Amino acid sequence: MQERYDPAAIERGAQADWNAQRVFVADENAPGEKFYCLSMFPYPSGRLHMGHVRNYTIGDVLSRFMRMQGRNVLQPMGWDAFGLPAENAAMANGVPPAQWTRDNIAYMKGQLQSLGLSIDWTRELATCDPDYYKWNQWLFLRMLEKGIAYKKTGVVNWDPVDQTVLANEQVIDGRGWRTGALVEKREIPMYYLRITGHADALRGALDELPGWPERVRAMQANWIGQSHGVDVDFPYAADTEQLLGKAGVLRVFTTRADTLMGATYVAVAAEHPVALAAAAGNPALAAFIDECRRGSTMEADLATQEKKGLPTGLHVRHPLTGESLPVFVANYVLMTYGEGAVMAVPAHDERDFEFAQQYSLPVRTVIASPSGAYAQVVAPWIDAYGEAGVTVDSGEFSGLDSAAAVDAIAAALSAKGLGAKRVQYRLRDWGISRQRYWGCPIPIIHCPTCGDVPVPDKDLPVRLPEDLVPDGSGNPLAKSAAFLHCACPKCGGEARRETDTMDTFVDSSWYFLRFTSRDNDQAMVDARADYWLPVDHYIGGIEHAILHLLYARFWTRVMHDLGLVKVAEPFANLLTQGMVLNHIFHRTPETGRREFFNPLDVDLVVDAATKQAVATLKKDGSVVTYEGLGTMSKSRNNGVDPNVITEKFGADTARLFMMFTAPPELSLEWSDDGVLGANRFLRRVWKAVYDHASLGAPVALDVVALEPADRDLRRIAHQTLGKVKDDIGRRQVFNTAIAAVMELLNAVGRHAGDAPQARAVRQEALEIAVLCLAPIVPHICHALWQSLGQAEPLYRVRWREVDPDALTQDLVEVVVQINGKLRGRISAPPGSPDVLLEAAALADETVQRFLEGKTPRKVVVVRGKLVNIVV
RNA sequence: GCCGGUGUGGCGGAACUGGUAGACGCAGCAGACUCAAAAUCUGCCAUGGGUAACCAUGUGUCGGUUCGAUUCCGACCACCGGCACCA
């Protein structure tokens, strides 16, 4: 064994051994209960960042730990390879997105491998591979057959200069990012997936996911939304009928049907058909509608917007009283929620109240406050006006509590054919059409005679040409004659291929299923998916808490309903890891752009007196502004390149630092000193084994021949073994597990003596330390295990069981409290009866002094832990 | 505004089921080794008082339950995240 810890050589050697033995290739037929450990696959942006390192280290520690527990582990890896950045890079460098993407994958794969992750690379996939996205297309066609996929118009951002559709992130302050042109809204046909059809199931099943963090479940529940209410139809009055040229109803959705008798007007969204019809002959209204539509995109972040509206001049009739009510266009009604229209009850809804005050509309009190907070609704608004109560002045519906009134009014409406109870979800259907090149083609052919024709299964995949280079002016697929022109599968006539591609969230909605059946070119998934699913542990960033996880749950449900997989929920346990933060420093010159400085180039000193942080540049001592901590990012120049750390200290140091510095769910502050500390610990472990091993092989351990100091060390070692298993296996916290091994190593350092049994105990303690660290820092442990004279390689070694005999103690410390305050400690044999402990505690010198002769009123004994004397 | 989370030393954090608050590490201070420095090792390290033994205080604030509360309950404050004219 070498005296010096040389991470580069050790890591190269360990990785070579693992690869040669194909240690991490998963096998469905291997013994042991399956454990599918999945980390969210990366977008191949070019280089790994520290967030990736953290994510994949957590997954790898769990995988390696479970492997040691005898589980049959699958840990795969792939690439979320379609997306906009590849097109941007292509425009900047003139390289096709395919080449840029594949180059990045090759580089980043090397980076991942240098971290020593226990990944089964035989199952690697990239979503831009035709044998992957073929099945996106195949399932899309099944959804089309089932009516789960459908076509309707949707609104997109249109850059009038580049003649192209822009993603939201390409719209900056309402202008195109490249041209600076004012972005327009355009309606175009798009494909949607009917995720709303599963809203109820997706919401309900959240309760059956105890392995998910509470906050993710709450975020999904909020996103899906759920309101129990009533659809109410307001028949058109004569003026509306005349304008629209037909009889009809204006439908609204309300959760407060109990207040229907207090409705004094109806408000519709700017995009509502009635509003648009009224605007045709009303320039002022048309201008207002225009304003509303602009406002909704550009001022979405305005918290308090003035309630504005205009009368349409049209009227509808109250469904129960027949009273004529005016119809307003209001900026607080959303076309995308419910029916795009609301009944307004100013007396019992705050927004309606505010609006009614502004436009002098009548306020009709129809609810009596159960707490007597008010008799009649008058300005100003108080929250009690909006609360449920008992109906008053509501004709035949008077005197009911709100819930009963909703039922009665819903029944009355239903009898007239003017309404019914309904559940409304906030969730909207998933629009998957993207007017871009670097994505999975939607398998549709447009035929002038047959219409939209699905591509037959035998012609799948519809291959994306890989040699195109986008130039920013529209989708290059639309300019590629080879792609565009085709024969109609139905009539054989000349037809045109759909040029839209799928949202990349489609790609990531089922990749975890494909890993199980990667080599099957006949089916999307096979029986192996049922073996491996559900994913036992899914690890990824909180930023995917809503969209990705919801889409993946939906997609799995669709596959389940089609009989393709047995599970309905894909992820049994979810671990959302925190972000990696670093200090941010900048300086804003009088002219020019703000300049950010890398933390490596800055000295940060906190003044002890003022508590003010002072940051100075290392090179010239000039002062820069300290902005605090923030996520590592290129734009703020506060990133740390993983390669720099692994090259300088090794992957094990990087892994140890990540796992030790914070629990996985919390954000992690980068600290160069912390990295040094992690490295220092590994050197200490190395030295401890070296010092021990260089004295030659120890004799066999004989537990009956141990000195007290030996028994102490052995007890600590076995306690550590138990704690580490519990911390990693049950609690999934790693920092405390590492802390426990550090304590063990400190104990080994204190343990002296060259007696044969002393050395045997140290041998066992070091073996346990190496086993406990093996999932976290696998390379150094691989080498140390050999140095400890073990014939079997560490990757084949199972976790060791705690020896209960090692944990026994002759005496345990018992704490003595008086009135809950710590006053002394006594030693007693474990399992001493309460009366003995009580007597010993009362006899204690310090205790006597504090009692000052007073008689205890009561004594509480917690066996083996403490005695509390109450006076 | 609504929903969720988090508040503990100079810093990251620990205390899992109500039972010794501050494990482990970082930084700092002192010492050993060294011609010296780095590295390494040892000791100290919540606050106030005291030479010390020790005493008092202390887990965002205020209250409650309990023999005993960082932990449970109530009210409030601050910060972070998500959603938001949601009918």
**Mean pLDDT for the stretch of residues A524-552:** 91
> What is the DSSP code string of A321-354?
T--EEEEEEETT--TTSTTSEEEE-TTT-HHHHH
Token couple for A279: 């605007």
Report CA(A849)–C1'(B45) in Å, whole number.
30
Q: Give the separation between CA A347 and CA A361, rounded to whole angstroms.
A: 11
CA closest to C1' of B41 belongs to A749
Find the helix packing angle between A97-114 and A84-93, rounded to 10°.
110
Q: Given this model, what pLDDT does residue A590 score?
A: 73
**Mean pLDDT for the stretch of residues A691-718:** 92
Q: Given this model, what pLDDT does residue A613 score?
A: 66
Q: Give the separation between CA A858 and CA A640, rounded to whole angstroms.
A: 59
Q: Given this model, what pLDDT does residue A282 score?
A: 86
Q: Give the separation between CA A819 and CA A339, rounded to whole angstroms.
A: 65
For A526, the 3-state DSSP assignment is coil
The pair phi, psi for residue A98, each rounded to 5°, is -60, -45
DSSP letter at A211?
Answer: B
- Of the listed ranges A34-38, A84-88, A168-172, A278-282, the least confidently predicted one is A168-172
Contacts of A1 (CB under 8 A, 6+ apart): A689, A690, A693, A694, A787
Q: Given this model, what pLDDT does residue A169 score?
A: 65
Report CA(A374)–C1'(B57) in Å, whole number.
50
Under a CB-based contact definition with an 8 Å cutoff, are residues A558 and A522 in contact? Answer: no
A616 pLDDT exceeds 90?
Answer: no
**Mean pLDDT for the stretch of residues A693-704:** 92
Q: Given this model, what pLDDT does residue A125 score?
A: 96
CA closest to C1' of B84 belongs to A303
- Of the listed ranges A91-95, A131-135, A306-310, the least confidently predicted one is A306-310
Q: Give the separation between CA A718 and CA A771, rounded to whole angstroms.
A: 12
DSSP letter at A562?
Answer: T
Q: Which residues of A32-80 form beta strands (DSSP E)?
A: 34-39, 72-74, 78-79
Which nucleotide C1' is nearest A660 CA? B25
Sorting pLDDT into bands at 50, 70 and 90, what band is A304?
very low
Residue A5 to residues A531, A690, A780, A781: CA-CA distances in angstroms?
42, 10, 9, 12
Which nucleotide C1' is nearest A216 CA? B4
Report CA(A644)–C1'(B27) in Å, whole number.
23
A591 pLDDT exceeds 50?
Answer: yes
Number of H helices, E strands in chain A: 27, 37
- Is the peptide bond preceding residue A210 cis, with omega within 30 degrees of 0? no
Report CA(A845)–C1'(B53) in Å, whole number.
14
- Of the listed ranges A171-185, A345-359, A638-652, A744-758, the least confidently predicted one is A171-185
Report CA(A600)–C1'(B58) in Å, whole number.
37
Contacts of A426 (CB under 8 A, 6+ apart): A222, A223, A224, A225, A226, A227, A337
Report CA(A54)–C1'(B72) in Å, whole number.
35
> What is the DSSP code string of A89-132?
HHHHH---HHHHHHHHHHHHHHHHHHTT----GGG-EETTSHHH
CA closest to C1' of B27 belongs to A673
Tens of pLDDT, residues A654-665: 999 999 998 998
Report CA(A677)–C1'(B45) in Å, whole number.
18
Report CA(A484)–C1'(B39) in Å, whole number.
68
Which nucleotide C1' is nearest A666 CA? B6
Long-range contacts of A844-849 (CB under 8 A, 24+ apart): A844/A816, A846/A816, A847/A816, A847/A818, A847/A823
Q: Given this model, what pLDDT does residue A800 score?
A: 96
Nearest to A44 by CA among A121, A133, A105: A105
The pair phi, psi for residue A348, each rounded to 5°, is -135, 15
Tens of pLDDT, residues A247-260: 899 999 998 999 99
CA closest to C1' of B10 belongs to A608
Report CA(A545)–C1'(B82) in Å, whole number.
9
Report CA(A600)–C1'(B30) in Å, whole number.
30
Residue A763 to residues A510, A689, A744, A758, A766: CA-CA distances in angstroms?
48, 9, 13, 9, 5
Which nucleotide C1' is nearest A822 CA? B20
Q: Which nucleotides of B are covered by protein (CB under 7 A)?
A: 3-5, 10-16, 19-21, 23-27, 39-42, 55-56, 67-69, 81-87
Under a CB-based contact definition with an 8 Å cutoff, are residues A315 and A235 in contact? Answer: no
A294 pLDDT exceeds 90?
Answer: no
Q: Given this model, what pLDDT does residue A541 score?
A: 84
Which nucleotide C1' is nearest A857 CA? B67
Percent of chain A with pLDDT over 70: 96
A119 pLDDT exceeds 50?
Answer: yes
A644 pLDDT exceeds 80?
Answer: yes
Report CA(A629)–C1'(B3) in Å, whole number.
26
- Of the listed ranges A18-27, A214-223, A570-579, the least confidently predicted one is A214-223
Report CA(A578)–C1'(B61) in Å, whole number.
29
Contacts of A388 (CB under 8 A, 6+ apart): A258, A367, A370, A401, A402, A403
* Count of C-beta atoms within a 10 Å radius of residue A854: 10
Q: What is the dihedral of CA A669, A672, A673, A676, to 10 degrees?
A: 120
A530 pLDDT exceeds 90?
Answer: yes
For A452, the 3-state DSSP assignment is strand
Which nucleotide C1' is nearest A295 CA? B85
Q: What is the dihedral of CA A606, A612, A617, A621, to 10 degrees?
A: -90
Which nucleotide C1' is nearest A351 CA? B85
Tens of pLDDT, residues A806-862: 998 888 888 888 888 888 888 888 888 888 888 888 888 778 877 777 778 888 888
Q: Give the separation between CA A776 and CA A794, rounded to whole angstroms.
A: 13
Which nucleotide C1' is nearest A723 CA? B16
> What is the DSSP code string of A531-560?
HHPSBSEEEEEGGGTTHHHHHHHHHHHHHH
Under a CB-based contact definition with an 8 Å cutoff, are residues A389 and A399 in contact? Answer: no
A63-93 burial, b at 16+ Cβ within 10 Å, e below that, comes to: bbbbbbbebbbbbbbbbbbbbbbbbbbbeee
The pair phi, psi for residue A592, each rounded to 5°, is 100, -175
Which nucleotide C1' is nearest A307 CA? B85
Contacts of A550 (CB under 8 A, 6+ apart): A195, A202, A220, A223, A224
- Computed over every residue of chain A, the mean pLDDT equals 88
A416 pLDDT exceeds 90?
Answer: yes
Q: Given this model, what pLDDT does residue A532 score?
A: 98
Which nucleotide C1' is nearest A821 CA? B68
Report CA(A696)–C1'(B22) in Å, whole number.
41
Q: What amino acid is encoded at A288 in this protein?
A: F
Which nucleotide C1' is nearest A865 CA? B19
Token couple for A295: 């406002």
Residues in chain A: 871
The pair phi, psi for residue A119, each rounded to 5°, is -100, 145
Nearest to A851 by CA among A836, A841, A861, A860: A841
Q: Side by side, which strands form the sheet with A324-330?
A: A309-317, A324-330, A265-268, A341-344
Report CA(A799)–C1'(B81) in Å, whole number.
38
CA closest to C1' of B12 belongs to A661
A610 pLDDT exceeds 60?
Answer: no
Report CA(A742)–C1'(B84) in Å, whole number.
48
How big is chain A by its Cα radius of gyration, in Å? 35
Q: Give the separation between CA A219 and CA A214, rounded to whole angstroms.
A: 9
Q: Given this model, what pLDDT does residue A307 score?
A: 72
**Mean pLDDT for the stretch of residues A107-131:** 96
Which nucleotide C1' is nearest A665 CA? B5
**Mean pLDDT for the stretch of residues A624-637:** 77
CA closest to C1' of B24 belongs to A739
CA closest to C1' of B26 belongs to A674
Using CB atoms within 10 Å of the CB of residue A742, give its burial: 0 to 12 exposed, 13 to 18 middle, 19+ buried: middle
- Of the listed ranges A10-24, A468-482, A590-604, A678-692, the least confidently predicted one is A590-604
Q: Given this model, what pLDDT does residue A62 score?
A: 96
More confident of the two residues A484 and A848: A484
| Whole-prediction pTM | 0.91
Percent of chain A with pLDDT over 90: 52
Q: Give the separation between CA A10 and CA A12, rounded to whole angstroms.
A: 6
